[in-house]
């Protein structure tokens, strides 16, 4: 049994399909199946129930998968410790960003990171909050950039910036004026929102509901870009983070800051408390914070 065999096993568990797992691992399906069978023979247990339709892991198989994840994560940690000792700012660096941050932040920070850390191989993943945290827990990400929420105390957290929220209204709407918006102006209004799973949805809903606004029940957007298009064509109003407006600035939309106390969200960098890449994540966090100052 070797580390590659464990990777084969985890691929089958993730994809629930031998052929797809083999493709992911860049080996033939017979090779992958044969190595997993050898593992079962060596361990003296059956890890997978095989049928023409389904791949079902036995109870013992699930336990082996759980341990395999830990083994591979520890191996990754060993390599990271060695890399940190020789050059903390090189090698692979896997970063997850939530969809309401990534598209608007990346165009500014990727060039800066590339210039500051030329030997760093950057991998970027756009993930909703819960998926991001799961991959961070599993060691598939080195860090995540997302909005701070309750329940993140188990991670090391670095403050990046506070992002104000803006009211977005279509031209001709009663709220499409230039002065800052009072929270009370939302009373009785129907507001377009993101679909479930976006943390921004919950934050925006809380602010709008507190003002006496209602959510539009006929439409929920999958992205901020979709929300903006719906506002631009006159379907309603919404609340957007400031960087999203900076990226597009749709001429058919009036963007208004809110009066104090304005709604904001705190964007943070999260890493595992056991992370061995403190130097790099600290440096990246500092760079992101400095890069966003003129944007906000």
| 237 secondary structure, DSSP code | B
Q: Are strands 55-57 and 253-257 parallel, antiparallel or unpaired?
A: unpaired
Count other C-beta atoms under 10 Å from residue 82's C-beta: 10
Place of tokens 């439409």: 219
User: For residue 161, is pLDDT > 90?
Assistant: yes
My answer on whether 201 and 132 are in the same domain is: no
My answer on whether 201 and 222 are in the same domain is: yes
Confidence of residue 85 (pLDDT cuts 50, 70, 90): low
User: For residue 101, is pLDDT > 70?
Assistant: yes
Q: Which of 82, 98, 130 is the last residue of a domain?
A: 82
Q: Which of 35, 52, 82 is the last residue of a domain?
A: 82
Question: What pTM did the predictor assign?
Answer: 0.74
Confidence of residue 287 (pLDDT cuts 50, 70, 90): very high
- Percent pLDDT > 90 in the chain is 80
Confidence of residue 52 (pLDDT cuts 50, 70, 90): low
Domain count for the chain, please give it: 3
My answer on whether 202 and 249 are in the same domain is: yes
CA–CA distances in Å: residue 48 to residues 35, 64, 251: 13, 11, 57
CATH of the domain at 179: 3.40.190.10
Domain region containing 21: 3-82
My answer on whether 153 and 195 are in the same domain is: no
My answer on whether 179 and 246 are in the same domain is: yes
Confidence of residue 232 (pLDDT cuts 50, 70, 90): very high
My answer on whether 153 and 280 are in the same domain is: yes
CA–CA separation, 9 and 69 (whole Å): 10
Confidence of residue 246 (pLDDT cuts 50, 70, 90): low
Task: Tell me the two tokens of residue 142.
Answer: 């080195």
My answer on whether 202 and 216 are in the same domain is: yes
Where does the chain have alpha helices with state H? 3-15, 18-25, 29-43, 59-86, 102-116, 129-137, 199-210, 224-232, 242-248, 278-292
Partners of 125 in beta bridges = 96
Q: Which of 82, 103, 132 is the last residue of a domain?
A: 82
My answer on whether 156 and 167 are in the same domain is: no
Task: Tell me the two tokens of residue 172.
Answer: 């001709």
User: For residue 36, is pLDDT > 80?
Assistant: yes
My answer on whether 149 and 282 are in the same domain is: yes
Place of tokens 């901020």: 224
Task: Give me the pLDDT at residue 248, please.
Answer: 60
My answer on whether 151 and 176 are in the same domain is: no
Between 125 and 50, name the one with better pLDDT: 125
Helices vs. strands in the chain: H and E counts, helices first: 10, 11
Q: For residue 120, is it left (φ>0), alpha (ψ between -120 and 50) or beta?
A: beta
CATH of the domain at 39: 1.10.10.10
My answer on whether 71 and 139 are in the same domain is: no
Sign of CA dihedral 30, 35, 36, 38: positive
My answer on whether 259 and 175 are in the same domain is: yes
């Amino acid at each position: 049994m070797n580390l590659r065999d464990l990777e084969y096993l985890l691929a089958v568990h993730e994809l629930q399909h031998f052929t797809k797992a083999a493709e992911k691992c860049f080996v033939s399906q017979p090779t992958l199946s044969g190595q997993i069978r050898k593992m079962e023979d060596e361990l003296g247990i059956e890890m997978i129930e095989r049928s023409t339709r389904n791949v079902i892991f036995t109870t013992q198989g699930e336990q082996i998968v759980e341990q395999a994840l830990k083994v591979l994560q520890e191996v990754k940690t060993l390599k990271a410790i060695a890399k940190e000792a020789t050059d903390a700012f090189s090698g692979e660096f896997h970063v997850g960003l939530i969809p309401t941050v990534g598209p608007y932040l990346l165009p500014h920070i990727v060039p800066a990171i590339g210039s500051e850390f030329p030997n760093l191989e950057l991998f970027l993943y756009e993930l909703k909050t819960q998926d991001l945290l799961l991959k961070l827990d599993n060691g598939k990400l080195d860090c995540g950039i997302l909005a701070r929420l309750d329940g993140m105390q188990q991670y090391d957290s670095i403050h990046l910036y506070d992002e104000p929220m803006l009211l977005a209204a279509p031209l001709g709407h009663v709220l499409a004026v230039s002065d800052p918006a009072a929270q009370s102006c939302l009373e009785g209004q129907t507001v377009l929102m993101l679909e479930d799973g976006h943390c921004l949805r919950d934050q925006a809903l809380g602010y709008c509901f507190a003002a006496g606004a209602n959510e539009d029940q006929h439409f929920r957007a999958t992205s901020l870009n979709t929300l903006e298009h719906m506002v631009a064509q006159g379907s309603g109003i919404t609340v957007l983070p400031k960087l999203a407006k900076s990226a597009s600035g749709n001429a058919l939309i009036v963007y208004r800051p809110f009066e104090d106390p304005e709604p904001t969200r705190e964007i943070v960098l999260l890493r595992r408390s056991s992370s061995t890449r403190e130097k790099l994540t600290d440096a990246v966090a500092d760079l992101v914070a400095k890069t966003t100052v003129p944007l906000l």
